[in-house]
Structures are given as C-alpha cells and as structure tokens.
Amino acid sequence: MNSSISVVTGAAGGIGAAVARALGERGSVVAAVDSDASRLSRTTAKLNADGLRAVGYAVDVARRADVESMVEAVERDLGPVDHLVNCAGVLRLGGVRDLTQDDWAASFAVNTTGVFNTSQALVERMVPRAGGAIVTVVSNAAATPRTDMAAYAASKAAAAAFTRCLGLEVAAHGIRCNLVAPGSTDTRMLRSMWADERGPRRTLDGDLGSYRLGIPLRRLARAEDIAAAVLFLLSEQAVHITMHTLTVDGGATLGV
C-alpha cells in the first residue's frame, strides 16, 4: 500500500478517521473528505503532525458537482487515486410512522447517493488505468431488520447492492469492490443512540423488546477494528476478493 493514493469520505471522525489514519500508517497518501470543514481540519492537522500525509477536502458527497471537482483536485494535487473508502454516513432514528420526508431524503442523500457519486466519479478514472479498489462501509443493519432504523438500514442496503453491482461491472478492468458491515462501534454515532450511562451495557446485552440480539463477544467494536477490515480488503492479501461483505459485529447477527 506504500505510495498509494486513497480517498476516504466521512474522514473527520469515527470510522472514517480511523481508516484515514490506518491508511496513512501503511504509507498511503490520504485525501480526507468530509462535509464538516472544522472537524476535518483538526483531523488532518493531527495526522500530519504525527508524520502521516493527509490533505483535507471539505465536500458534501451528496452534491455531485462538488464530488467531481474534489476528484479532479485530488488527482491534480496528489496523483491517480488507487483506493476509495466510502465511510460518510448519517443516522436518522425513528419508527417508520414517525420518519419525516427530510429524514428519509437525508439518509439516502449521504448514505446511498453519496456512495454512487464518489464511486462513479472515481471508477471513470480507474477503468482506463485497469486497477483500483473500493470499499463501502455499510452496516449489519443493511441485512438485519432494526426497529427505529428503517431509513438508515434501507439506505445502507441500497449502498450495499449498488457496490456489489458495481463490482460485477468493473471486475474485468481489475477493480475490486467490497463491503465492510460494522455492528455497534464506539463512535459518536452510536453514543447518540444511548439515553444514559446504561447504553453500553444494553448494547452488549441486547433488547428483547426491540428484537435485537446482544454481542456474543461481549465488547463494542472500536473504530480501529473496522479500519483493519477495510485495509485487508484494500490490500494485496485480498487480491482475489470482490463483491464480498465482511461483517464486523462481534457475532451480533449470528453470522447470517
């Protein structure tokens, strides 16, 4: 992975920041993309202070024209992109009867359309070069029903289906497209779902009332655990793996 160029969306925090750091530690130059310019600036400053090379691009991945401009800037500033990691995501909680049109639209704008925008823009450049790797970070909720998470689960399921279809279409060009499906991971997004200090224990134990299993390994994932899975799928160790979903949830979905 040395000397590669990697685009990471949602890089200002959580899983995206962990992926950006892990890639940087492997020698990749990271184009860190996020809509939150101030958090992104702090994240990239920390990476560079630690001797890694990261350049920030404040972009809303839901805006196609901005994504195109970002990709052009990255390839002009850093060089041809080898890897794309789609980590940008939003969570709008609520039962189906309570979700607003805005909740639904915002979930799909970032979690699905954002993946389409970045993937298509970069594949257009990867195909003539006959190589590249894309990993889309989805969720174990993409394949397992969750109460109060219909918009999130549906948007992540759509992103997963899109990524697999893309992987089939570009396989002949030497481009691999895979998925990482995290479960409960100790990030700001997960903590936003906790009402009080009992949140972590309830996550580990599960909730019969919402038909949610606990975590058999009895630990929350760290963002670094998800980053490790992403790096594997980008690496030469995974050279014969494409259209695959690697679930990283401590057994919460029982391997299904």
| Whole-number Å distance between alpha carbons of 144 and 255 | 11
| Whole-number Å distance between alpha carbons of 95 and 67 | 32
Q: Which of 57, 108, 152, 162 is catalytic?
A: 152
The encoded tokens of residue 164 equal 């697999």
| Whole-number Å distance between alpha carbons of 37 and 48 | 16
CB atoms within 10 A of CB 100: 11
Is 152 tagged catalytic? yes
**Which residue reads 């299904």 in tokens?**
256
| Whole-number Å distance between alpha carbons of 196 and 251 | 24
| Whole-number Å distance between alpha carbons of 147 and 190 | 15
The encoded tokens of residue 216 equal 């058999």
User: Which residues form the catalytic set?
Assistant: 152
